[in-house]
Amino acid sequence: MKKTVRDYIRTIADFPHEGIMFRDVTTLFADARGFRMAIDQLLHPYAGERIDKVVGLEARGFILGGAIAHQLTVGFVPIRKKGKLPGQTISQAYKLEYGEAIMEIHEDALQPGEKVLIVDDLLATGGTAEAGIRLVERLGAQVIGCAFVVDLPELGGRTLLERLGMSVHVLCEFEGA
């Protein structure tokens, strides 16, 4: 039987809190065949499209985004949690289930008109991705799509991003939180 990306992802019960089923993509990253499959499948819908930069969301989005940027021979831009980037940044707050957090990007990381692909490992509520989209757009660049390995559809992130007019590509879905 041929393996899918989903087959490489392990689930860890009650992490980081009781009742959470954590979808661990490190097992996907550790397997050369699985990792290559994920990168190829994340890129597939964008074949032939102009992409100037790949933006990765902290932290596992850096791993995926770096590999995708390398494959496309384009630059990689990290969006990080507040206080992690040196130099001049712009910030965007977003909601968490228990409060608020802030993401940042270097103010000179993107140029107006550049086409950007946003990448992360997991789409849950969509808050982090929405903050990333807002940061990219504030710098004048255009998000051509958002690509994720895993979607947790019950948490509504895809719906949120699609309501913002985003094209959303996911490789697999898991039920529950």
Chain mean pLDDT for the chain = 96
User: Which among 130, 167, 173 has a CA at the least distance from the CA of 23?
Assistant: 173
pTM: 0.96
The answer to whether residue 117 scores a pLDDT higher than 80 is: yes
97 an active-site residue? yes
**Which of the four pLDDT bands, split at 50, 70 and 90, describes residue 176?**
confident
Active-site hit among 60, 80, 104, 114: 60
CATH number at residue 156: 3.40.50.2020
The answer to whether residue 177 scores a pLDDT higher than 70 is: no
In a domain, 6, yes or no: no
Region label for 176, one of left (φ > 0), alpha (ψ between -120 and 50) or beta (otherwise): left
In a domain, 15, yes or no: no
In a domain, 169, yes or no: yes
- CA–CA dist 105, 114 (Å, integer): 15
Domain that holds residue 162: 49-173
Mean of pLDDT values over 102-121: 98
**Which of the four pLDDT bands, split at 50, 70 and 90, describes residue 24?**
very high
In a domain, 64, yes or no: yes
pLDDT of residue 96: 77
Q: Does a cis peptide bond (omega within 30 degrees of 0) precede residue 59?
A: yes
In a domain, 20, yes or no: no
114 an active-site residue? no
Q: How many domains does the chain have?
A: 1
Active-site hit among 23, 33, 58, 97: 97
pLDDT tens digits, one per residue of 70-102 = 999 999 999 999 999 999 999 999 987 678 999
